[in-house]
Amino acid sequence: MKKILKDKIINIENTNLFDNRFLFGVLYDYINEDVEVIFISDLLVARKNVEILEKTKEKPAMYSNVYSPEDELEIFKDLFDNAIKNNKRIHIIWVTLDEEIKILEEYYTSLWYMREDINCFDPDFSEPLVTVSVKIENLMWKWSDYKAYKEKIFFNPPIRESGQVKAMFKWINRWVIAWIYISNFDENVERFLWDRIKQENILTITLAKVLYYNLCDIWFIWKEKELIVLYS
């Protein structure tokens, strides 16, 4: 078995050198007294569009606008601007929009985190005033899934259109999104993460960073569980 570390893959002592199992750490149930953790969902509740919610009974895909992307982006901008203005460290959970991460990209570029040789960012997450997470459900589902799953995927923030889902993967792989937030680590989540690695949607070491190591850099205190991925 092999252990995935922040910057390398090592063989675990006293395990079969040639088996296909890879061991990841997964951070959950975190605490950090120095960084304010903000859930966008808590702030979106006040902007819930009840009128649109009624229409989702016949057109479930309209749920994406029960908590509109415009409202989410406005909230994100306010949080970001306030953090920069007041020199305050925050971690924002449940971003869903490419436009949000482009704001963060510009900020990280100003901090000289962009590496031209690999066309990716290489941030030291202990330094930025603003870091962000994406919720696992906003990677697992897309707008077209509303038709089949309806209220089963009525989340806050909502599942966005396919382009926004692809953008979340893009910014994970460009090392701007710090963490994948998982509130319920069940078999569906585990299978989803297996598939992302096997299909190379997320590189192995990158996944290790967004499940565990990046938040270590932000000095979060955590509980940990193990994820073993079997390559077949």
Q: Evaluate whether 214 touches 175 at the Cβ level (below 8 Å).
A: no
Give the C-alpha separation, 214 to 8, whole Å. 14
Residue 19 lies inside a defined structural domain of this protein: no
Q: Is residue 139 a part of any domain in this protein?
A: yes
CA distance linking residue 37 with residue 45, whole number of Å = 17
3-state secondary structure of 2: strand
Instruction: Identify the three-state secondary structure at position 230.
Output: strand
The one-letter code for the residue type at 151 is E
Burial class (CB in 10 A: 0-12, 13-18, 19+), 25: middle
Q: Which residues pair with 91 in a beta bridge?
A: 37, 131
Question: What's the structural domain count of the chain?
Answer: 1
Residue 17 lies inside a defined structural domain of this protein: no
The tens-digit pLDDT sequence of the chain (232 residues) is 878 888 888 888 777 777 778 888 887 766 667 789 999 999 999 999 999 999 999 999 999 999 999 999 999 999 999 999 999 999 999 999 999 999 999 999 999 999 999 889 999 999 999 999 999 999 999 999 999 999 999 999 999 999 999 999 999 999 999 999 988 888 899 889 889 888 889 988 999 999 988 888 887 666 777 778 776 6
DSSP class of residue 72 equals: H
Indicate whether 7 belongs to any domain. Answer: no
Domain span at residue 53 reads 26-195+212-220
Q: Is residue 18 part of a domain?
A: no
